[in-house]
Amino acid sequence: MKKPLVVTVTGAAGEIGYAITPSIAFGAMLGEDQPVTLKLLEIPAALPALEAVKMELFDCAFPLLQEVVITDKPEVAFKDCDAALLIGSRPRGPGMERSDLLEANAPIFVEQGRAINDHASRDVKVLVLGNPANTNALIASSNAPDIPVTRFSAMIRLDHNRAVAQLAYKTGVSAAEVSKVIIWGNHSSTQVVDVHYAEIGGRPALELLDVEWVQHQLIPEVQNRGARVIKLRGKSSAASAANAAVYCMRDWFGSTPPDDWVSMALASSGQYGADEGLFYSMPVIVEDGDPRVVEGLALSDTCHQFLQVTLDELRSERDAVRKYL
Ligand code: NAX
């Protein structure tokens, strides 16, 4: 039997936490032969709800689940962790601007970055979901100087999957036949949905699709899908977000499919004009756990203009939290 891997989930009593923990314990993320220990972090007020999550996980009788640790102490939650999902964060309240949200959440990611630095496995992989995810990843990684920045990512996979699903539905194929979609930049409404390199059943997507549909249906649908879910459900996407995190980690611990890439927000080392260090979503190929940005793709002038908007947003977020970096 393989040695268990430790997976830490923050905000584990929340909506996404509730949806993702059974999938991890079932083996969907790290493999159906990989035992796991779950370490679940919450704020003190949510510990009773977290106890119930632990009870339900126990009641699933998952063969791979070795242990469930629940705690409100980051140093306990991140002890020896191999994979960390930073989901817990404060939601955007009424009247809060994006800058207020940044300010409210920054201290959480400072504290957790430090705890990861001091207690996690040296080759931990950290995926940040809590919004604003890209900048929270920047804060967490900046506060974990002993862990390589390449071990941090912000989740953009939900946006990627949304685009893949729309293309598959439109053309009547399985999602597995859609490849090489790109989401660039920030996990926000400024994200750039790019299908110039996308393929459907091995053929260029743009040969099969009407450009009007791409511009006026696909792109706004992907960009506004999260807001539509909130409007209908009264809460943000949870099942699809949990699934996207599972897919992202599964690929990151393994490899992306042949002849395909995925969108991941990694710390830029200057690719595609993004400032070094900003967590910027780009096309990424993973080989045996090692992510590599696909470089050198030619981009249209229009695409460049949109990239500038999402880049400027990320720069202003970084400037707003500079004192936490
Ligand atoms: P919930 O409000 O249901 O759950 C958040 C949980 O985090 C709560 O249980 C809360 O007690 C806990 N929490 C707060 N501060 C904490 C701290 N310091 N340590 C540990 N736990 C803490 O939100 P949920 O729907 O689960 O969403 C969580 C985050 O994911 C939000 O920031 C949300 O905006 C973000 N999302 C990010 C997505 C992405 O693609 N990157 C997509 C889905 C989602 O919108």
Question: What pLDDT is attached to residue 98?
Answer: 75
Which DSSP symbol is given to 82? S
pTM over 0.75: yes
- Cα angle, residue 237 at apex, residues 195 and 226 outer, rounded to 5°: 45
Question: What pLDDT is attached to residue 295?
Answer: 96
Q: What are phi and psi of 297, to 5 degrees?
A: -75, 135
Whether residue 187 lies in the annotated active site: yes
CA separation, residue 160 to residues 7, 41, 188, 194, 216 (Å): 24, 27, 13, 10, 18
Our answer on whether the CB atom of 116 is closer than 6 Å to any ligand 1 atom is: no
Structure tokens at 45: 């007020």
Question: What pLDDT is attached to residue 1?
Answer: 80
Has domain 157-320 been given CATH number 3.40.50.10490? no
Please tell me the number of Cα atoms within 13 Å of 136 on its side-chain side. Answer: 30
Determine the Cα–Cα distance for residues 12 and 23; give it in Å rounded to an integer.
Answer: 13
Neighbouring residues of 263: CB distance < 8 A, sequence distance ≥ 6? 156, 157, 159, 160, 181, 182, 183, 184, 281, 282, 283, 284
Our answer on whether the CB atom of 317 is closer than 6 Å to any ligand 1 atom is: no
Residue-range domain boundaries for the chain: 5-154, 157-320
Question: What pLDDT is attached to residue 39?
Answer: 98
From 9, 16, 139, 183, mutation site for ligand 1 pocket: most ligand atoms within 8 A of C-beta: 16
CATH number of 5-154: 3.40.50.720
Question: What pLDDT is attached to residue 251?
Answer: 98
CA of 131 to the centre of ligand 1 (A): 8
Determine the Cα–Cα distance for residues 12 and 170; give it in Å rounded to an integer.
Answer: 35
Determine the Cα–Cα distance for residues 29 and 247; give it in Å rounded to an integer.
Answer: 7
Mean pLDDT by 10 residues, the chain (325 residues): 95 98 98 97 98 98 98 98 96 76 94 98 97 97 98 98 98 98 96 97 96 95 91 92 98 96 97 96 98 96 94 96 96
- Residue 41 pairs in a beta bridge with 10, 71
Q: How many residues does the chain have?
A: 325
Question: What pLDDT is attached to residue 305?
Answer: 95
From 131, 136, 160, 248, mutation site for ligand 1 pocket: most ligand atoms within 8 A of C-beta: 131
Catalytic residue among 187, 196, 216, 304: 187
- DSSP assignment of 171-228: HT--GGGEE--EEEB-SSTT-EEE-TT-EETTEEHHHHS-HHHIIIIIHHHHHHHHHH
